[in-house]
Amino acid sequence: MSYFLLIILLPLTSSVEGQKEFPDNFKFGVSSSAYQIEGAWSEDGKGESIWDHLVHNHPEKIRDRSNGDVACDSYHLWHRDVEMLKELGVDTYRFSIAWTRIMPTGIGNQVNPKGVEYYNSLINALLANNITPYVVLYHWDLPQRLQEMGGWINRDTIGRFKEYARFAFETFGDRVKWWTTFNEPVQICRESYEQDAMAPGYDFPGIPCYLCAHNLLLAHAETVQLYRLHYQSSQGGKIGISLSSAWAQPRSDSADDREASEMNLQFIIGWFAHPIFSTNGNYPQIMIDRIGNFSAQQGFAKSRLPTFSADEIRQIKESSDFLGFNTYTSYMVHKLDEQNANIFPQPSFNHDSGVVEYPNTSWPETASSWFRVHPKGIYNLLTWIRREYDNPDVFVTENGYSDHGDMRDTNRVEYFKKYMDAVLDAVGEGCNVKGYFAWSLMDNFEWRGGIVERFGLYYVDFNHPNRTRTRKSSAKFYADVIKKRKIDMELMPEPDDYTPYSAAEAVSTRVKPVIIAAMIVYLYKLIY
């Protein structure tokens, strides 16, 4: 079916009245990632990741010059994290393993037992509290040593990742039954190599992002094959990948604008989903054609989009037991035409896609410049996935709202109400959505946004030495949804009481022991 026909079939504005209670087997969870919460960046044998390297060498690239050296200190405070999960009543907890905490250099000749102990303790505590671990092997934190060897541009990284994954399956797979290879490949490749938005922070448009994606898809497929051949039957688990996209809202109802929406979705979602979930496999034909044609016009000897062999296409196709999908926002799109043809470098991913993305200023803002609220977008995306890929099992593995740390976070609560309701509309339409994970368990280090942009259900006081966590209104609201398995549109709970840790208290905490010690010495001298 052509993408022109698909876009005609896509319901862009219709409203669907679906069931308003979540199915009995629907799973609720929350998500986090290692670098954003763990801290202890160089403690107990952990190696340096590309994010450690970026924040230490280029602190100016972080909005508030903060970093993840301590973050939420979950390496030491994971007991409290488990308590929070129990308070929420979630079925499952999605977290990532820090590759460098297990293998400090990313290479399997050196394994860090303290890192293994940390994840064993967390996994065991989750299971003891009837919370299912949902483990992501890679959430953006490549070992710096591997980056120095070329990172995801180097095909050797495929084997290194498989080596790491094999160790994880053998070490944790007796208890972990849900695995994700990669979180958000678009961010790993487009925002890290194409544009300086994520670590390692390269600005090299048009070539390395496609090499990165190609190697990452092969790493995913080879890792899934490894799991299926040697571990899945004995361990009884499932393995998949988490993709991401915003909804591409056509600027108008014109054929050109609707085609721009479809082109955008094929370049963003289809780039990784088409090789895995489509009937024929391989990259979307529109990517193959456009990048190949532009490459020829630009004087390249071959297409900048690498080519899979027939065997690789077969290996990648159907290499996921489920599709994890992350989405937060939507943006407007129209075609790149003669009037604005020069706004993007040539070559570049944006020029190849032929689409201009821009915010709709009528949609509500958040604390993140890239993020506006448009609940219908998540319904449209889930519906598009159902039609494009024959309705795979989907978990919404990330969805959440950013603010500046409000305890009574009414905007976040309203966001969850509307977005989860839109998920239910998609379920009512027949989408195989099996679960929903809120992002995130608590405020954390939000990448280039530092700790200014906060997505947490729990407030984290980053000034407090204990990184105190406190329930916001949204945590109580989400717990109510999980308990009742439906959305109370009228509910707006009050947050727990908490007085932020002040700078004066911090000084006092440090100074008091010094004063007491001085007084003891003074009294001792008076007496003796």
Cβ(399)–Cβ(439) under 8 Å?
A: yes
What is d(CA 194, CA 365) in angstroms, rounded to the nearest whole number? 26
What is d(CA 236, CA 176) in angstroms, rounded to the nearest whole number? 9
Helix axes 410-428, 376-388, angle to 10 degrees: 30
As a whole number of Å, the CA-based R_g of the chain is: 24
C-alpha pair distances (Å), 410 with each of 106, 206, 398, 414, 459: 42, 41, 19, 6, 14
Judging by beta carbons within 10 Å of its beta carbon (0-12, 13-18, 19+), is residue 211 exposed, middle or buried?
buried
**Alpha-helix residue ranges (DSSP H) falling in 191-242:** 208-230, 232-235
Catalytic annotation present for 43: no
Pairing verdict, β 247-250 and 178-183: unpaired
Catalytic residue among 194, 262, 357, 398: 398
Helix (H), strand (E) at residue 436: strand 433-439
CA nearest neighbour of 200 among 140, 286, 277, 253: 140
Cβ(442)–Cβ(84) under 8 Å?
A: yes
Catalytic residue among 38, 48, 184, 194: 184
What is d(CA 464, CA 506) in angstroms, rounded to the nearest whole number? 7
Longest dimension (CA), the chain: 95
Q: 3-state SS string over 478-492?
A: HHHHHHHCECCCCCC
Catalytic annotation present for 163: no
- Reported residue count of the chain is 528
Strand, helix or coil for residue 317? coil
Helix axes 156-172, 208-230, angle to 10 degrees: 40
Is the preceding omega at residue 474 within 30 degrees of 0, hence cis? no
Strand, helix or coil for residue 111? coil
Residues assigned a catalytic role: 184, 398
